[in-house]
Amino acid sequence: LERLMAPKDFSGQKVLVTAGPTREPLDAVRYLSNRSSGKMGLALAKAAWLRGAEVTFIHGPLSVSVPPYFKAVSVETAGEMAELVKKYFPEADMLIMAAAVADYRPKQVFPGKQKKAQKSLTIELEPTEDILATVASSKKPHQLVIGFAAEESEKLLEEARRKLKDKKLDLIVANDISRPETGFETDTNEVWLISASGKEEKVALAPKEEVAWRILDFVVEWLKG
């Protein structure tokens, strides 16, 4: 209820949010994917909507249900996600790229269901497009591009700072996926927020809804400053 009554500090803003895994087909019935649940991205979409944003939510296959009150489009592959993000980004004020996009896809997709005839099977993979980097390189000055960095503890901040810089992002959310309470498929998270201007802030362990709220607080504060 508190959140329903919250100031609409995102009203007039068009926010594009991605979430969940992608699925890269191997044949007609099999795919490569990852353990992303989409909960963090969904929490961000909900928080932005509650704060007045016009939300477009592009998501891979999710285990949680998507509310009917904002525009949601579902995709399967990284290629489809890339196409849709590029379609909606030009009119967005902000992109929050929380999706766990596959880095590689099978180079060949076998027609039908592949038989187990061979002794061993080698699958050749090719890289997918880095959606975030592509979009960030074409953004207009008023547009904000926010990425995530899924890392294992030791190099969390170092790697997140590198991704922020390499992909020319405005903000990165660094997520330690080596801990059970902050990894994939959990209801809680703890993140570091790092802005291009060098501001860094930790969001302590909390339910993903709370973490999403804090991320948007950081964005608002950062936009003011």
User: Which residues are designated catalytic?
Assistant: 34
Binding residues for ligand CTP restricted to 110-169, rule: CB under 6 A: 128-132, 147-150, 163
Give the bridge partners for 172, in sequence order. Answer: 147, 194
The residue (of 48 and 149) whose beta carbon lies closer to ligand CTP is 149
Nearer to ligand CTP, 129 or 217 (CB): 129
Question: Which of ligand CTP, Ca ion, none interacts with 55 (beta carbon under 5 to 8 A by kind)?
Answer: none
Count of residues in contact with Ca ion, rule CB under 5 A: 1
Minimum gap (Å) between residue 113 Cβ and Ca ion: 28
212 near ligand CTP, rule: CB under 6 A = no
What contacts 2, CB < 8 A, 6 or more positions away?
Answer: none
Query: Based on CB atoms, which residue is closest to Ca ion, 80 or 103?
Result: 103
- The answer on whether 140 is annotated among ligand-binding residues is no
- What is the rounded CA–CA span in Å between residue 124 and residue 213? 41
**Which string of DSSP letters, residue by residue, matches 103-132?**
SEEESS--SSPPPS-SSS----EEEPP-HH
The site partner of 99 among Ca ion, ligand CTP, none (C-beta below 5 to 8 Å per kind) is: ligand CTP
Instruction: Tell which phi-psi region holds residue 38, choosing left (phi > 0), alpha (psi between -120 and 50) or beta.
Output: left
- Decide if 146 contacts 140 (C-beta within 8 A): no
Structure token digits, residue 100 = 């766990």
Which of helix, strand or coil describes residue 134? helix
Which residues make up the interface to Ca ion (CB under 5 A)? 103
Which residues make up the interface to ligand CTP (CB under 6 A)? 78, 97, 99, 101, 103, 128-132, 147-150, 163
